[in-house]
Amino acid sequence: MIKAAIAGGTGYTGGELLRILLRHPDVEVVAATTTSSEDIPVSEIHRDLIGETDLKFGTDLGNPDVIFLCLGHGLSREFLDTRRPDSSCRIIDLGNDFRLDGDYSGRQFVYGLCESGKESIRQAHDIANPGCFATAIQLALLPLAGNGLIRDEIHATAITGSTGAGKKLSETSHFSYRESNISIYKLFTHQHLAEIRKNLGRLAGQEPVVNFVPMRGDFTRGIFASVYTRAVKGMTEGRYVGIFEDWYRDSPFVFHSGKGISLKEVVNTNKGLVHVELHDGYVHISSAIDNLVKGASGQAVQNMNLMFGLDETAGLRLKPSAF
């Protein structure tokens, strides 16, 4: 059994990791830490886990095989500097500390987008888990970048649920603000843009121009992205569809749908769905994921499975909710 520990286990991503790992056939959760809930049972914070575990939050991670860092952005570097985990212990960081520069404190963090670098993930010792918006938008663009079909600016609009803002309450995550409301934030400046450009540029040979409009939605979970760019001359819709189906043919979680997609088809799962169409000289791709699963904790477990030589889908065949 792989001994897993979670640093920062009281938040949304930490809770999702606990839900997945407690049911993982090859994992034992040995510790979950917090700075505010020491000695409190995990099930008192994550009430849906009543009867599922006797684990209590603490401050000691012990000596696990892998540590998942579910800390605030910028805190993972501080964690490595102060805790100094054993060099044999693997790290999967769900923050943004190592997505752009993976070389830190004697460790080399590999960017963990499974659909664009599976072999490097299998060989990695440490992983920088991608951002949720970055995952949704890149799933819409990887087949184009990998086949040299990005020739113009990319325009992306994506809407996320309130859990994407984290558990700490703020004015724009409060129920009275979110309910029956949609708003734009971080227009053209979102922090995930840099990793999107860098990883797509690695595939395409040069970084593309990506114009991104992020939106807050009046729901709790999921990301729906609308992405388009100018089509390459001579490319038909059928050829685009074929490229997407080929790219994701061996993916256990990402699928091209011949019909339009919606959020309900992916929420509570590690799935990513994409749908491509050609309109008046533009190729348009819809993309949908659950921001807490494929966009965070599920992808982290998928990365762990690859790193430890397990079945990629272990612990991740999650039941979707259709209604």
Catalytic residue among 70, 89, 114, 132: 132
Residue 114 among the catalytic residues = no
Q: Are residues 138 and 287 in the same domain?
A: yes
User: CA–CA distance from 94 to each of 113, 118, 186, 203, 282 (Å)?
Assistant: 12, 17, 21, 23, 34
Helix (H, G, I), strand (E, B) or coil at 116: coil
Q: What is the CATH number of the domain that holds 63?
A: 3.40.50.720
Q: Are residues 121 and 136 in the same domain?
A: no
Q: Are residues 144 and 120 in the same domain?
A: no
Q: Are residues 126 and 270 in the same domain?
A: no
CA distance 74 to 67: 17
The pLDDT tens digits along the chain (323 residues) read 999 999 999 999 999 999 999 999 999 999 999 877 778 999 999 999 999 999 999 988 989 999 999 998 889 999 999 988 999 999 999 999 999 999 999 999 999 999 998 999 999 999 999 999 999 999 999 999 999 999 999 999 999 999 887 777 678 877 788 899 999 999 999 999 999 999 999 999 999 999 999 999 999 999 999 999 999 999 999 999 999 999 999 999 999 999 999 999 999 999 999 999 999 999 999 999 999 999 999 999 999 999 999 999 999 999 888 88
Q: What is the CATH number of the domain that holds 281?
A: 3.30.360.10
25 domain-assigned: yes
Owning domain of residue 97 = 2-130+294-307
Q: Are residues 36 and 118 in the same domain?
A: yes
Retrieve residue 144's tokens.
């184009």
Tell me how many domains the chain contains: 2
| Other beta carbons within 10 Å of 180 | 7
Specify the pTM. 0.96
